[in-house]
Amino acid sequence: MTLSILAYGAFFLTTALAFAIVCLGLNLQWGMTGLFNVGVAGFVAVGAYASAILTTPPSDMHIGGFGLPILVGWAGAALASGFVALAVGAVTLRLRADYLAITTFGVAVVIHLVALNAQWLTGGPFGIGFIPRAFDGLADRPLAFAACNLAVAIATTITIYLWLERLARSPWGRVLRSIREDETAAMSLGKSVTRYRLQAFAIGGAIMGLGGALQAHFIGFIAPNNYLPNFTFQVWAMLIIGGAGNNRGAMLGALLVWALWSVSGGSISAFVPAGMQARASELQLAAIGASLCLVLLLRPRGLLGEPRNWLKPAPPS
């Protein structure tokens, strides 16, 4: 009994940390740079599919079967998502802020369509299975398997977090925030606003892709409908509730919202009669949307908000 609770706890945390990584990527785009990405699900999907195609054994269902190591898959995931973000940003970042929102929304729609219909590439509606999982040799010992995966997820999240903190305190990070606060002032200091934005958007997209790959290799199976707009809504609720502009807030929001989501989802399947469950989970989604609006109205800084000490240079290391 305790064993299964521990294993479930590790499973929950690993899933939540994959969200935390995606959330950190979004925080670089929105929290630091003020770029509104409504296509989070699309960038995560590109990463998950890229890594799956690179690492899966040969299959008749789709392209690939390269059987490469998982780490190569992760690198491919970050590259692919970063490249998509770069292309989207190149078209829209010189225009009004809303155009980026509309375009990223469209990108996510198209990526979902490709995942669903380009069967030669993505396996179509059935998705891609047999994605190699790290530590598969431990599969008969669930606790050790869960613990090893959790350790990898924690290490990845912390590495990204520390790197982003360094970036945020670096001259580069200060330029990003100055652009967000006052574009004209940054421009008059000779900073190429579009280039900095493009860099932040591409790096943020790459981190999202990495989060998608981590999740794909943990579960071992992906399908187009994992990456619907509701995924984007969830990640946004995590960031806004946790506190945009704060990397710890992004991670805290991911853990908190995913915990609330899992608990409410669990109680729906436990207490709500089978015929009503679909409707009850609609209320769950409505609560996500409503809490996004409420936080924006009542506590726009979220739980943690942006730290003030970012203006100081990083401590010598």
Interface contacts to other proteins, rule CB under 8 A: 34, 36, 38, 91-92, 95-99, 101-103, 105-107, 109-110, 113, 116-117, 229-230, 233, 236-237, 240, 278-279, 282-286, 288-293, 296-297, 300
Residue with Cβ nearer other proteins (99 or 172): 99
In the complex, least distance from residue 123 CB atom to other proteins, rounded to whole angstroms: 15
Least distance between other proteins and beta carbon 274 (Å): 14
Rounded to an integer, what distance in angstroms lies between the CA atom of residue 103 and that of residue 262?
31
Q: Give whichever of 98 and 136 is closer to other proteins, judged by the CB atom.
A: 98
Q: Specify the residue for token string 């726009």.
A: 300
For the CB of residue 259, give the shortest distance to other proteins in the complex, in Å.
20
Q: Which is closer to other proteins, CB of 48 or CB of 288?
A: 288
Q: How far apart are CA 73 and CA 71, in angstroms?
A: 5
d(CA 244, CA 180): 13
CB of 187 to other proteins, least distance (A): 18
Q: Of the two residues 58 and 275, which places its CB atom closer to other proteins in the complex?
A: 275
- Beta carbon nearer to other proteins, 115 or 203: 115
We find the least distance from the C-beta atom of residue 286 to other proteins, in angstroms, to be: 4
Q: How far is the CB of 157 from other proteins (least distance, A)?
A: 25
Residue 123 C-beta-side C-alpha neighbours within 13 Å: 22
Place of tokens 């967000």: 180
Question: Exposed, middle or buried: residue 3 (CB in 10 Å: 0-12, 13-18, 19+)?
Answer: exposed
Q: Is the Cα dihedral 246, 248, 254, 257 positive or negative? A: negative
> Nearest distance from residue 203's CB to other proteins, in Å?
20
Q: Which is nearer to other proteins, 81 or 92 (CB)?
A: 92
Beta bridge partners of 222: 128
> CA–CA distance from 234 to each of 258, 266, 286, 291, 294 (Å)?
9, 17, 11, 11, 15
| Region at 123 (left for phi over 0; alpha for psi -120 to 50; beta for the rest) | left
Tokens of 266: 């669990």
CA-to-CA distance for 311 and 293, rounded, in angstroms?
29
Which residues, including other chains, have CB under 8 Å from residue 160's CB and lie 6 or more apart? 21, 24, 207, 210
- Cβ proximity to other proteins: between 108 and 214 the closer is 108
Based on CB atoms, which residue is closest to other proteins, 103 or 215? 103
Report how far residue 232's alpha carbon sits from residue 249's, in angstroms, rounded to the nearest whole number: 17
- Give least dist CB 314 to other proteins, A: 28
